[in-house]
A and B are shown apart, each in its own frame.
Chain A
């Protein structure tokens, strides 16, 4: 298995633009998580899905953020409109059963 695949690895955009981050979890994993990592706040859980259904989105900062999981092999995290304070590394992770998360390599977002 190629692991959790995230794209893009790096994105630089201007304030106000829409940003879409993508994630392909490990095949067979039934949980998918989106995390954000910054120097100031460390790792923050944004949202997680179980069997494609959002379970807890209490970590989503505000309405500008939305996440979807249309099927078991794909999820998106969208920011619209983006702001400089959204600059961070966004990680996707997936798991099955035993609480062990496998993380993707992350998407580094810079909003100018």
Chain B
């Protein structure tokens, strides 16, 4: 069985400061890992994915995530938050058997 834990339900940062959204996973197999973003009243959009290549993955809009097997983590970071980054972010894991597991989501607020 696999599970995904997003450690913070809400994160608030000031514009221009770094963003850290935490995700831990558990899986019996080597997972593929994703981050999706959902803006209000919109569908989910893929930010980035890890599929056992480079452990540091760069995504769209300046986001990146690092896969750390020893810590079973896949935290999402961005050096400098922008107001347009305010959204809900989902960490997702799959073992490639089409059984996607979504985290509960982290709502990011960006203060001016």
Contact = CB atoms under 8 A, between A and B. Distances in A.
A100 B34 contact: yes
Interface size class of B (residues with CB under 8 A): 20 to 34
Interface string B80-109: 000000000010001010111010110000
Chain A interface, DSSP helix/strand/loop, else mixed: strand
Contacts, number: 46
B32 interface: yes
B100 A45 contact: yes
Interface of B: 32, 34, 36, 41-46, 49, 51, 90, 94, 96, 98-100, 102, 104-105
B37 to A, nearest CB: 11
Contacts of A101: 44, 46, 100
B43 A104 contact: yes
